Homo-oligomer: A and B are copies of this chain.
Amino acid sequence: MAKIGINAAFLDEGLKARINAATSAYGHEVVYFENDEEALQGSDGCEILFGNFKPEAITADKALKWLHCSFAGVDKFTSDDIYANPDVIVTNSAGGYGVTIAEHMICVALMMMRRMPEYMAQTAKHGWGIIGEIDSIMRSTITIVGMGDIGTNFARRAKAMGASCIRGVRRTKKPGDAAYDEVYTIDQLDEAIQGADIVALCVPGTDATTHLIDAHRLSLMKDGAYLINVGRGWAVDQPALIQALESGKLRGAALDVVVPEPLPVDDALWNAPNVLITPHVSGNMTLDVTRDLVVDMFCENIAHYSKGEPLRNLVDRKAGY
C-alpha cells in the first residue's frame, strides 16, 4: 500500500478510472495533481510519482522510491542531485511515443520532399502553379540514428511506403527490426549517412549525442538530402546546419527540437531556408493513442511494483536513458 502522486493534466476521466482500477487492486492510494503548482505542493510524502514533474518539484521528496515519467527523454532526471534518496528508481514511457513521433516524421519528410511549405506560401497568396521537381519516400535511402521505439516505428512506415534502403544506427552491434535493411554502430556514422536521402535523428539527449551532426558530417551527406531531428536539439550543430541550408547542400531540415527551447524570436535558425520548425510537439500528449499507451505502461508497472517484480522501462541513470 503506497501513496501515489500523479501529475494529471493529460488525464481524462476514462484514463483516471483505469489508473484507479489498477492501483486500488493493490490497495494503493492515489492523489491527482491538476497542475504543476499542486504537484509541487502535494508530491511530498508520495512513495510513487507518475507524470511530467519539474525536477525542482521532487527534490525534497524523502518518501519517493519510484518515479515513473510520462515521457521518454529523461535527461533532466538522471543526476543523483535532484533526489533526496539517491536510490530512487526511475522508469520512463519509452514505447508510448513511437506512433505519434513516427507520424510526425512521415509528415515532415513528405512535406519537405513534396515542397509543401512552398505550395502553402503560393496558396496563401491565392496563387496557382507547379513549383517544380519533388522527391519521394518510395525508392529513397533513409538513415535512422537511434533504433528504439521511435526510430523503428518510423522505419516500418518508411519501408511500407517503398523506401529502398533503411539503415539503422545504434550504440551496440545487435540486430534490429525487420524494417531495417542495414545496421551500423554509432562509430560507423560517417559511412551510414553517406548517400542517404534522409538522415533522421531519434537519439536521447546524452553527452554522446552532442553535435552528432556537425559541419563535417553535414559535408559527408548527399547533396540535396534532408535532415529530421526529433531527439534532442544539441545533437545538431545549429550554425553548421544553417550554413548547409543556405548553401543548398541540404534541401531541407525538419527540426522538432532545437537549442534553446523555446527558440528566441531573433534566432538566425528561424530564417534559414527550407527549415521546418515545430515547437517540440512531435511526441507530446495531444494524441489519444499516446495517452492510452502511457497509462497502459504505468498500470503494468504498478502491478510489477506491487508484486516485487522488475519494472518495465527501467532507466539506466548512468547511461542517461
Query: A residues engaging B (CB < 8 A)?
Result: 99-100, 103-104, 106-107, 110-111, 113-114, 116-117, 119-120, 122-123, 126-139, 156-157, 160-162, 261-263, 265-267, 270, 276-279, 281, 284, 286-289
Contact = CB atoms under 8 A, between A and B. Distances in A.
Contact of A161 (B106, B117, B138, B281): B106
A160 B162 contact: no
Nearest to A267: B126
A106 B134 CA distance: 15
A138 to B, nearest CB: 5
A30 to B, nearest CB: 25
A107 B110 contact: yes
Contacts of A103: 110, 113-114, 136-138, 161
A152 to B, nearest CB: 13
Given A123-B276, A130-B281, A132-B286, 13 more contacts: A100-B134, A100-B136, A103-B137, A107-B114, A117-B120, A126-B270, A127-B279, A128-B261, A130-B284, A134-B286, A134-B287, A136-B288, A139-B289
B119 A120 contact: no
A111 B122 contact: no
Contacts of A104: 110, 114
A130 B120 CA distance: 21
Centre residue among A107, A122, A123, A286 by max chain B CB count within 10 A: A107
A281 to B, nearest CB: 6
A288 B137 CA distance: 12
Nearest to A279: B128
Contacts of A135: 287
Contacts of A288: 136, 139
A289 B120 CA distance: 24
A41 B288 CA distance: 60
